[in-house]
């Protein structure tokens, strides 16, 4: 909750904490683990179409780090992600995302396409463009929206989800 409260303090219009941290916490709980898995960073994603890019992202990361010592933050403006996806997808035009949910919907695996936010009354909101079934069923499924089969297969090999969570099912493309 401290990460959500810190992110809320930034007063961004459209934001959430998502991806691996959320997936890992859910899968840890479903496996009955008492200690949460180590997560390299907290992914804060936001949508600001007029934002100045990496400078704004770094400034947000620094502000969050100051509020939450010990947490490593990765802030990404989904309005600019198409620019760094384009070189990874030669021959395909990657359009800009039109919203935070549109950006989240493009993440490589459907179980990871989930973000949570916190309102002023400490109520948690969930953004899950592909639903929550794969997350709670512990299914890793390729999301062809923006990511190639090659990138999905590389991630599946690199992440080794079943080593940490043996009940997870990784589906082929």
What CA–CA distance (Å, rounded) separates 72 from 140? 25
Instruction: Check: CB of residue 116 under 8 Å from CB of residue 25.
Output: no
Instruction: Over range 80-102, report the average pLDDT.
Output: 77
Q: pTM of the full predicted structure?
A: 0.91
- 76-105: average pLDDT: 81
Residue in the block written with tokens 């904490």 = 17
Q: How far is 171 from 154, CA to CA, in rounded Å?
A: 13
Task: Quick: pLDDT tens for 98-150.
Answer: 999 999 999 999 999 999 999 999 999 999 999 999 999 999 999 998 778 99
Strand intervals (E) in 5-150: 15-18, 42-46, 73-77, 115-118, 124-127, 139-140
Give DSSP secondary structure letters for 124-171. EEEE-TT-SHHHHHTEE-B-TTT--HHHHHHHHHHH-HHHH-TT-EE-
| Cα separation, 128 vs 146, whole angstroms | 16
Q: Could you report the per-residue pLDDT of 44-74, keeping only the tens digit for each?
A: 999 998 876 788 899 999 999 999 999 999 9
Cβ-based neighbour number of residue 153 at 10 Å: 14
Q: Is the pLDDT of residue 87 over 70?
A: no
Q: Look up the CATH architecture of domain 2-170.
A: 2-Layer Sandwich (3.30)
Q: How does pLDDT run across 13-47, given as a tens digit for each residue? A: 899 999 999 999 999 999 999 999 888 899 999 99
């Amino acid at each position: 909750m401290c990460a959500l409260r810190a992110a809320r303090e930034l007063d961004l219009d459209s934001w959430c904490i998502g991806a691996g941290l959320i997936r890992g916490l859910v899968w840890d709980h479903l496996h009955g683990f008492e200690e949460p898995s180590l997560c390299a960073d907290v992914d804060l994603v936001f949508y600001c179409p007029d934002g100045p890019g990496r400078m704004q992202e770094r400034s947000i990361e620094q502000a969050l780090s100051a509020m939450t010592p010990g947490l490593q933050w990765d802030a990404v403006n989904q309005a600019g992600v198409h620019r760094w996806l384009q070189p990874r997808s030669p021959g395909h035009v990657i359009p800009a995302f039109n919203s935070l949910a549109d950006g989240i919907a493009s993440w490589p695996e459907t179980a990871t396409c989930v973000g949570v936010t916190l309102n002023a009354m400490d109520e948690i909101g969930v953004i899950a463009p592909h639903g929550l079934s794969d997350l709670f069923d512990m299914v890793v499924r390729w999301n062809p929206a923006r990511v190639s089969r090659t990138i999905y297969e590389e991630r599946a090999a690199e992440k080794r989800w079943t080593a940490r969570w043996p009940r997870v099912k990784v589906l082929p493309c």
